């Protein structure tokens, strides 16, 4: 029981409450998510931590990781490369992490792997429901995989006993692990993630051509120190220094558990050099979350939610322009302590979003 409590405390230690704290924080959440076209393959893949198959040479490589807070923050000290492929069975992910000192000391499955330098995958196959998945790995090939029914800031719990069934993965190291006497080159990891294993409710999310998933990648990097030729996280004044968080699609704050801020994968038959467009549902989804963020700011100042959208900060800049294309309806309870917004695309009448103050999100179709 004590171990479980410790795990949950560590998982939640850097998670903010669901209220936005400032206009500056709201503005930091406005960057446009990145997109990636995942090319479909027929070649059998050998999961060995290397990218030697011909199919990998055809996959576009992501090279532009940034600080989780965005491009204006310090650039990552080391390069990270990621590429993806898919077939009717698996999503394939290859990551190459350049690193002069490759070390790790967490060996047990489902331990808190991000207390080492690690690579993390975040996947949300279902754009219409709240659940999503996280997979972490360190250079020892220790895996930590979990499912969340909703983000921590809305009371979501990490289901740590959940595992990706039939997951295949491997780590390759160009250098020597846990040897401070030399300079290493990189470590790489390769995954085959079965589509059938990534679902909690309803049907398994087998992707079809042109389907979108929400996705992000994170690299946690700690400064280190040596004691008797053993690596550990660096301390100053007896306190462990904060880690760096380098990601594919920046969030805007130090919290990966904003799935609405992740990038988008599009599954395609043939990838091109040009990144895919955002999905049709992006604008209405972004509008719903912006109303939500601004309502949190309003409540922080007034101790209740606003009955009129026009009273929200930055209404003219971030909500009013969208009313040309979208109809926004809001139901506020009598004591103004809870609300639900419903947004409809005026033109198609098909794309609809509902979102409440507790983060319950629903997208149609």
DSSP string, 219-234: EEE--EEEETTEEEE-
Which pLDDT belongs to residue 203?
A: 66
Is it the case that residue 18 has pLDDT exceeding 80?
A: no
CB under 8 Å to 242, separation ≥6 — which residues?
none
186-213, pLDDT tens digit by residue? 999 999 999 999 987 666 668 999 999 9
Q: Which one, of 157, 139, 135, 140, lies nearest residue 148 by Cα? A: 157
Which pLDDT belongs to residue 139?
A: 98
- Among the residues of 149-235, which ranges form H helices? none
Which pLDDT belongs to residue 349?
A: 82
Is it the case that residue 267 has pLDDT exceeding 90?
A: yes
Is it the case that residue 14 has pLDDT exceeding 70?
A: no
Beta strands at 244-247 and 168-174: parallel, antiparallel or unpaired:
unpaired
Mean pLDDT of 134-146: 98
Using a 10 angstrom Cβ sphere, with 0-12 exposed, 13-18 middle and 19 or more buried, the burial of residue 189 is: buried
pTM, 2 dp = 0.94
39-53, pLDDT tens digit by residue? 999 999 999 999 999
Contact 48, 191 (CB under 8 A): no
């Amino acid at each position: 029981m004590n171990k479980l409590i410790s795990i949950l405390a560590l998982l939640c230690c850097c998670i903010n409450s669901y209220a936005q704290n400032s206009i500056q924080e709201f503005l930091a959440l406005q960057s446009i998510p990145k997109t990636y076209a995942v090319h479909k393959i027929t070649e059998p893949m050998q999961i060995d931590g290397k990218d030697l198959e011909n199919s990998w040479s055809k996959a576009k490589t992501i090279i532009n990781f940034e600080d989780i807070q965005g491009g204006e923050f310090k650039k990552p000290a080391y390069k990270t490369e990621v590429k993806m492929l898919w077939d009717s069975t698996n999503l394939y992910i290859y990551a190459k992490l350049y690193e002069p000192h490759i070390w790790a000391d967490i060996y047990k499955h489902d331990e808190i792997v991000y207390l080492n330098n690690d690579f993390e995958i975040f996947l949300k196959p279902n754009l219409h429901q709240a659940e999503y998945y996280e997979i972490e790995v360190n250079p020892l090939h220790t895996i930590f995989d979990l499912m969340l029914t909703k983000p921590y800031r809305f009371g979501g719990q990490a289901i740590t006993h959940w595992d990706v069934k039939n997951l295949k993965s491997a780590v390759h190291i160009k250098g020597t692990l846990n040897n401070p006497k030399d300079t290493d080159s990189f470590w790489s990891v390769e995954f085959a993630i079965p589509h059938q294993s990534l679902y909690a409710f309803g049907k398994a999310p087998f992707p079809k051509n042109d389907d979108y998933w929400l996705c992000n990648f994170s690299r946690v990097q700690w400064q280190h120190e040596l004691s008797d030729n053993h690596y550990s996280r660096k301390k100053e004044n007896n306190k462990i220094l904060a880690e760096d968080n380098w990601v594919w699609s920046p969030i805007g704050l130090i919290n990966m558990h904003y799935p609405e801020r992740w990038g988008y994968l599009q599954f395609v038959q043939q990838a091109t050099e040009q990144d895919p467009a955002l999905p049709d549902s992006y604008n209405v989804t972004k509008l719903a979350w912006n109303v939500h963020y601004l309502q949190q700011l309003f409540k922080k100042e007034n101790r209740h939610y606003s009955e009129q959208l026009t009273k929200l900060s930055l209404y003219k800049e971030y909500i009013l322009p969208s009313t040309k294309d979208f109809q926004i309806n809001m139901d506020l309870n009598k004591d103004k302590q809870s609300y639900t917004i419903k947004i409809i695309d005026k033109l198609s009448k098909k794309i609809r979003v509902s979102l409440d103050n507790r983060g319950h999100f629903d997208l149609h179709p």
